[in-house]
Each structure stands twice: as structure tokens, then as C-alpha cells.
Amino acid sequence: MAHPHIAERSFGYVDPNFPNPGGKNDTSIIIYGYTPSIALAAFAASWFFVHLVWHTAQTWRLRSWWWATFSVGLVFEIIGYIARSLSAKKDPYHLIYFVLNYFFIVTAPVFLAAGIYTILSALIPVLGRQHALCPPSLILFFFITSDVISTVVQIAGAVLVGVRESRQQDPSVANNILLGGLAYQVFAMTIFIVLAAVFLVRARVAMRDGGYTRFCLVFALATLMVYLRTIFRLAETAEGLLSNLATHEVYFACLEFAPIALVALLFAVWHPGRCIGSKVRGPKRLASHPV
């Protein structure tokens, strides 16, 4: 969805159809590499708002407070896409809008992933600890800690990229910091996928007998969608600023927004609080109405 009339300069992109206001916080280029689409940003903000209400209402009704981190992630998505809407409609050169967009959209999946990690830790006592390679408490501690560390590194890199770009300085070091955070996140999620896959295969009989097969498939698909999004961010950063992935909004729409939007929809329909229960502990406890 890159803007068709964006001129390229040696140091970045400008949009001849959107004159630079030249304000205090305006950069000389559009750091996105294109003028963001207001249609995509507004639709995304609306989509995540609807799902925030849907998720939070179910979490409240079912008293499944362990799933509340997912709602926090949706709030971050909404803020990020509102900032992106301001870039698209008001001022694509504004550094603060870009930083807010990047910070909240990059950080949101940390909270969404925390919910996914908690699902596995909840399924283990339900379907049988003997099927898991690691105890639930270790899974939560390691993977949530890993997400926090990788996100702190990513945000530091993203902010530095914005600062260096605004000063027309070489952003390579800042981009490498961002790349390191993303690489570690992909590494940690790869380990999680292996652990989850082994558990689901081993527990397939208990899964079938307890009526959890469909929900486990939803869990697996959602995990892969978050993983796809993270790999996209890694590939985009590895290519470097002003590269093909970074400067064409269609990649952002299909590989950043779409996977996370699907995850929100899947868990709204198959809400973990309803499918697993209000608690995340207790040996082989079955939810009252698993689906």
C-alpha cells in the first residue's frame, strides 16, 4: 500500500503530495518509507477496539483474569494504530507519531504472546504433566522474561533509529540493536513452538477424550501467526532501512496487521477462559464446556 507518488532522495523518502509542515518534531523525510494508509490504520484501530471490548467482556464474565494480558496487548495495538492514523492523515513527517506507532505496535505482541504462553501452562495440568518437557511455571518464567528482554532491546533500537534518521545520520548501529532484539525473540519463540508441538502430539489422546482438539488447533494456529509476524519483523530489519520490505506497506498489512488481527479473532471466538477455565492450575481439571 505504498503511496504511488513518493519521491526518493539520497537520505530517504518524501511525499510531493504531502508538503512537509516543517514543525519542531518534523523530520526531513518520511521515516516509514511511504505515507501510511489512513484506511488501513483506521480499520486496524477499529478492529482491535471491537476485539478489546469482546475479549474484556468475556474475561470479566468468566473471571479468567489470567487472560487479561491479552486485553493489554489489544490496548497497545489500538494506541499504535491511532498514532499511525495521525501520521497518515495529519503529518507523516512527525517523529513522535512514528515513535508512538512503532513502540506500541512492536510492543503489543509481547502481551499477546504472554497470553499464549499462559495457555500452554494451563493446558499442561489439564491434559497431563507427563506429556510436557517442562513444568508450566518454567515455561511462563522463561518465555515471558525472554519477551520482555527482547522487547526492551527492540524499543531501544527503534527509538535510536528514529533519532538517527531525524538527524540524517547513519542508523546502522541502531538498526543492528533492533535486529538483535528481534533475533532473540524469534529464537525464544522457536523453542516455545517446539515445546508446544511435542506436548500437543504426546497429549493427543487426552486432548481428544477431553474435547480439546479444536481449541488446541486454534492455539497452534494463533502461535504460528505470532511467529510469522515476528519473522517478518526480523526479515524487514535484516534488509535494512529503506529496503523493499520496509518501504512497501502491503507487507506491513499482510505480515504485521493480518496475523495479529486473526489471532484476536480466533481467541475471541474460542476464548481461553471458556475453553480452559477461570484458573490455570489443578491436575487434569476439565473445563465445563470445552470446544
* pLDDT value at 281 more than 70: no
237: nearest Cα among 286, 171, 284: 171
**Mean pLDDT for the stretch of residues 228-248:** 86
**Class at the top of the CATH hierarchy for domain 38-274:** mainly alpha
Residue type, 34: Y
Task: Please check whether residue 28 is in contact with residue 12, taking contact to mean a CB–CB distance below 8 angstroms.
Answer: yes
* pLDDT value at 74 more than 70: yes
The answer to which of 58-62, 102-106, 278-282, 283-287 has the lowest mean pLDDT is 283-287
Supply the pLDDT for residue 11: 56
Supply the pLDDT for residue 5: 40
* pLDDT value at 285 more than 90: no
Q: Is the dihedral of CA 51, 54, 58, 60 positive or negative?
A: positive
18: nearest Cα among 95, 93, 100, 82: 93
Cell numbers standing for residue 108: 503489543
pLDDT digit string, tens, across residues 183-221: 998 999 999 999 999 999 999 999 999 999 999 999 999
Cα 110-116-120 angle, rounded to 5 deg: 140
State the Cα–Cα distance between residues 139 and 63, nearest whole angstrom.
23
Cell numbers standing for residue 8: 526518493
pLDDT digit string, tens, across residues 100-152: 998 899 888 888 988 999 999 999 999 999 999 999 889 888 988 998 888 78
pLDDT band at residue 254, thresholds of 50, 70 and 90? very high
pLDDT digit string, tens, across residues 5-36: 433 334 578 888 898 998 888 888 888 889 99
pLDDT digit string, tens, across residues 128-137: 999 999 998 8
Supply the pLDDT for residue 231: 94
State the Cα–Cα distance between residues 77 and 49, nearest whole angstrom.
9
Quickly list H helices, the chain.
38-62, 68-89, 95-127, 136-166, 172-202, 204-210, 213-239, 249-252, 258-269, 272-275
State the Cα–Cα distance between residues 195 and 205, nearest whole angstrom.
17
**Mean pLDDT for the stretch of residues 63-81:** 95
Q: Mean pLDDT in the chain?
A: 86
Cα 206-145-110 angle, rounded to 5 deg: 80
pLDDT band at residue 243, thresholds of 50, 70 and 90? confident
Phi (first) and psi of residue 161, to 5 degrees = -60, -45
pLDDT band at residue 3, thresholds of 50, 70 and 90? very low
* pLDDT value at 1 more than 70: no
Burial (CB count <10 Å: 0-12, 13-18, 19+), residue 284:
exposed
One-character DSSP codes across 206-242 = HHHHHT-HHHHHHHHHHHHHHHHHHHHHHHHHHH-TT
DSSP 67: G
Q: Please give the model's pTM, rounded to 2 decimal places.
A: 0.87
Task: Please check whether residue 117 is in contact with residue 192, taking contact to mean a CB–CB distance below 8 angstroms.
Answer: yes
